[in-house]
Structure 1
Amino acid sequence: MDLEAAGEARLLQLNKLDELRFEAYENHRLYKEQTKKFNNKMIQKREFNIGDKVLLYNSRLRLFPGKLKSRWSGPFTITEVKEHGAIEVASENGTKFKVNGQRLKLYTEGAFIGKLETIYLSDPPTDA
């Protein structure tokens, strides 16, 4: 009789472990769904056209950054836009390669260099 009670207690313990394992699996699945939603929401949708000039993000410089060294290289010219974010770019010497569109940003060719705008915060002096 004592053996039967111990056997039943062991079966109950195994059932509780199975339930706990199932709950952990469900929690993990929900966590993965939420993180996927969040990460997808943070991705910016960018549209590029053929002929646009772009800069390429160099992820290797992120690991060992030099002081004040830019992580962007280029400019490159877009030669082909493929589906699912793949973009073919060409360097100035003509080398073509494919990159993920998330690693690119539009390059403005010095349109803003040399322009200076001054805003005076106080009233200008008046001649009396």
Structure 2
Amino acid sequence: MWAMKKFKMDCYEAAEQRLTGMNELDEFRLKAYESSALYKEKMKKYHDLKIEKREFMVRDLMLLYNSRLCLFPGKFKSKWTGPYLNTQLFPHGAVELEAKEGVRFMVNRQRIKIYFEYAESANEVIEAYYLEKV
């Protein structure tokens, strides 16, 4: 009451000013929400473009990500084990793998990747040069 008397305002004018201030805040909040939603949508499109689609076939050789190796970190230690033979593909991302011993087990498709064998010729030494002390 003292503020209205000091600024010589009518109580209806003060209530109207408060309502317009609250409406402006609501509009600002809605604009911020819309711009945030647009930003998230654009980032999702960009992220989805960068994801490689991995198609697995039966009889492919696979490497399995071993998450337990993260407990004992090593700089040069590989976290991938295998290769395993892909014996069956299930819907919703499940894959059945077979080890060399014949043991079969199911894993999530996100934990595997295709194993590419190295060519034998890449490991051969074509020419050898021996350096002698001068």
How does the TM-score come out when normalised to structure 1? 0.73
The Cα of 1:74 is off from its aligned counterpart by 1.4
Aligned length, in residue pairs: 117
Q: What do you get for the CA RMSD once the two structures are aligned?
A: 2.5
Q: Is the 2:84–2:100 contact (alpha carbons within 8 Å) kept by the matching residues of 1? A: yes
Structure 1 residue aligned with 2:83: 75
Distance 1:30 1:64, change over 3 A: farther
One-letter amino acid of the counterpart of residue 68, structure 1: F
Runs of 4+ in 1 over 4 A off after TM superposition: 59-64
Question: Which of these residues, 34, 38, 41, is aligned with residue 33 of structure 1?
Answer: 41
The Cα of 1:5 is off from its aligned counterpart by 1.3
Residues in 2 aligned to 1:96 and 1:71: alpha-carbon distance in whole angstroms? 18
One-letter amino acid of the counterpart of residue 115, structure 1: E
The range that moved more, 81-90 or 43-52, is 81-90
Structure 1 residue runs without a partner (length 5+): 119-128
Rg: which structure is higher? 2
State the identity as a percent.
46
Structure 2 residue aligned with 1:123: none
Structure 2 residue runs without a partner (length 5+): 1-8, 128-134
How does the TM-score come out when normalised to structure 2? 0.70
More helix by share: 2
